[in-house]
Amino acid sequence: MDLTGAYASLGSDLGNAFSLVLLSVVGLVMVVWDSLRNDHRAIPWIGVAASVLAISFELLRMPGPAEKIFYGLMWAGGYASFVNIIILAATAFTLAISVHYLDRIGHNYGEVYSLVVFASAGMIVLGSANSLITVFVGLETMSICLYILTGLVRTEEGSVESALKYFLLGAFSTGFFLYGIALLYAATGTLYLDEMPAALAGGAGSEVLLWGGVGLLFIGFLFKVSAAPFHMWTPDVYQGAPTTLTGYMSTASKASAFAALVLVVYHALPAERWMLVLAIVAAATMILGNVVAIAQSNVKRMLAYSSIAHAGYVLVGIAAGTTAGYSGALFYLLVYTLMNIGAFGVMAALEWDGHVGQKQDLDSLAGIGYRKPLLGVSMGFFMFSLTGFPPLGGFIGKYAVFAPAIDAGLTWLVIVGLLTSAASAYYYLRVLYVFWMKSPEEEAAPALDQLMASPLSMSTSVVLVVCAGLLLVLGIYPGVLESTTLFFSDSAAAVAAIR
C-alpha cells in the first residue's frame, strides 16, 4: 500500500467521520469534567448537545451517496448517516430521560453518561463498517460499555446478576463471531466487505471454510440482535438493567448490529443461500417473542419479549434479500427506536421508589392514565404503534418490511408475521387497559399518592412528546421510507462505479 500522504488523507477523513470524532472527544471531556468537578449536573447536557450537533451534521450528509473513508474501513454519508441518526437520536433521548430517573434511584454518576456516549461511538463504528476489523472493534466497544451500564446499580442483586449473564453470554458469542471472521478471512483472503464478492467469484477459498464462517458470523449477529435461538439473555438483562438504559440497549445497539448485518449481506454475500435460513430464524423469533410476551405480567419483561418479536420483523425485511427489503429494515429500526425509547421512558417515569414501584407488575400500574395523563396518552401512542395500527409509524414500518418479503416470494413468512402481530395486540393493549380502565387496589394507593407528589421532569415530558409526535409524522408522511430506498440505489451505483 502506498502510504505517501497517509496523514493528510486521514486528516481530511476526520471531517467525514465528524459524529464519531465528536462523540469520542465529548466522551473524554465528560470523564475529565466528572473527575475535576464535584458538580456533574452539566454532563448529560453536554452529551445531548453533542448528539444534536452530530444529528444536524448527518442530516446534511444524508442526501449524498455513501463513500468510503479511512482507506475503505468505513462508510460515511448516505445510509451510514441514516443509521448514525438513529443511534444519535437514541443517545440524546436516553441521556435526557436518564437524569431524573438515575437521580431517583440514587445512582446519578457522571460516568454513566460518558459510558453511554462511548457506547454510541462504538455503535457508529459498527453501523458504518466496511471491514470485518471495524465491525469487530465497534461491536466490542459497544458491548463492553453496555456490560458496565447493565450492572450499574451494583447494590442490587438483580442488576448485577443480569450484568453477569449479559457479560458471559456476550463474551461467548463474541468468540463465535470472531471465529466466523477468521474462517471468512481464510476463505476469501480479505477482511474488506466489498472485496469479498470478487474474491468469491474468483473461487479463491474452500466452500467449507466460507459457509462455516458465514454461519458463525450470523450466530454472533443473531445473538446481538436477540433473535430466536439466541435470545435467552434478553429478558433477564432487560429486566435487571436500569430502565432508561434498557431502552437504550434495546434500540440503539440493535439498530447498529442490524445495520452491520445489512452491510455484510448487502456487500459481501450472495443472497440465495442464506435467505431461507434467515427466514426460518425470523419466523421462529416472531412466534417465540409474541407468544411468550402474552404470558408476562411484568411490563419490563413483556417489553423485552416484544423487542425479541420486533427483531423478527426486521429480519423479515433482511431475509427478503433485496434493496427494498434492506431499506425497509432500516426504516423499521428508526420507527422501532422511537417507540421503544418512548415505552421504556414511560416505564422509567413510573418507577417511583426502590420497592413496590420497581416491580412494575401490571396490577401496580392500574389507573395511571387519569393521574398522569401525559404518560397515559404517550403510552397509548407507543403501544398502538408497537402493535402496528395506522396512522402511526409502526404500521408503515411493518408495511416496509413485509411488502419486499412478499415480492421476494416469502409469503408464508409474511403470513406468520401478520398473525403474530395480531396476537401482539393482546398484550400491548392490555397495558393500556390497565392504565386507563382499571382502578388501583387499596394497598397500592399510598405508593401511588407518593408518585403523584413527584412531578414529571421537564426533559422526560419533552422526550415522550417528541417521540410520540415523530411516530405520528412518520406514519402520516412516510417520505423517509422512500429516501431510505434511495440510499441503497445510490450506494449500489457508487459501488458499481468503484469496481
Partner 1 sequence: MEISLDWYLALSAVLFAIGVLGVLFRRNAIVILMSVELMLNAVNLSLVAVSQSIGDLSGQILVFFVMSVAAAEAAVGLAIVIAIFRKKVSVDVNDFTLFRY
State which residue, 216 or 278, has the beta carbon closest to partner 1: 216
Q: Which helix (H) or strand (E) holds 69?
A: strand 67-69
> In this structure, what DSSP letter does residue 131 have?
B
CA angle 136, 140, 143 (to 5 degrees): 140
Q: Is 194 in the site for partner 1 (CB under 8 A)?
A: no
d(CA 91, CA 110): 15
Total residues contacting partner 1 by CB under 8 A comes to: 41
Chain-centre distance of CA 188, in angstroms?
A: 30
189 binds partner 1 (CB under 8 A): yes
User: Stretches 128-136, 390-398, 405-413, 453-461: which one binds partner 1 (CB under 8 A)?
Assistant: 128-136
In the list 29, 49, 133, 291, the residue contacting partner 1 (rule: CB under 8 A) is 133
User: Minimum Å distance from CB 160 to partner 1?
Assistant: 5
Q: Is 200 in the site for partner 1 (CB under 8 A)?
A: no
Work out which of 59, 168, 198, 294 binds partner 1, going by CB under 8 A: 168
Question: Is 403 near partner 1 (CB under 8 A)?
Answer: no
Peptide bond into 391 cis (omega under 30): yes
Distance CA 441, CA 137 (A): 50
Q: Which region among 28-36, 103-111, 174-182, 322-330 touches partner 1 (by CB under 8 A)?
A: 174-182
Q: Which of 29, 52, 164, 495 binds partner 1 (CB under 8 A)?
A: 164
Would you count residue 452 as binding partner 1 (CB under 8 A)? no
Residue 315 region by backbone torsions, left for phi larger than 0, else alpha for psi between -120 and 50, else beta? alpha
Whether 424 contacts 386, CB under 8 Å: yes
Q: Least distance (Å) from partner 1 to the CB of residue 259?
A: 20
Residue of 306, 128, 334 lying closest to 226 (CA atoms): 306
C-alpha cell at 402: 413485509
- Asked whether 312 and 414 are in contact (CB, 8 A), the reply is no
Total residue length of the chain: 499
Shortest spacing between CB 165 and partner 1, in angstroms: 7
Q: Within positions 217 to 256, which residues make up the interface with partner 1, using CB under 8 A?
A: 235-236, 239-240
Taking a C-beta distance cutoff of 8 angstroms, is the pair 132, 78 a contact?
Answer: no
| Cβ nearer to partner 1, comparing 162 with 484 | 162
Q: Is residue 151 near partner 1 by the rule CB under 8 A? A: yes
Q: Which of 118, 167, 326, 352 binds partner 1 (CB under 8 A)?
A: 167
Q: Which is nearer to partner 1, 69 or 88 (CB)?
A: 69
User: What does the buried/exposed string (b/e) look like for 148-176 if buried means 16 or more CB atoms within 10 Å of the residue's CB?
Assistant: bbbbbbeebeebbbbbbbbbebbeebbeb
Binding site for partner 1 (CB under 8 A): 131-133, 136-137, 140, 144, 147-148, 151, 154, 157-158, 160-165, 167-168, 171-172, 174-175, 178-179, 181-183, 185-186, 189-191, 235-236, 239-240, 292, 295
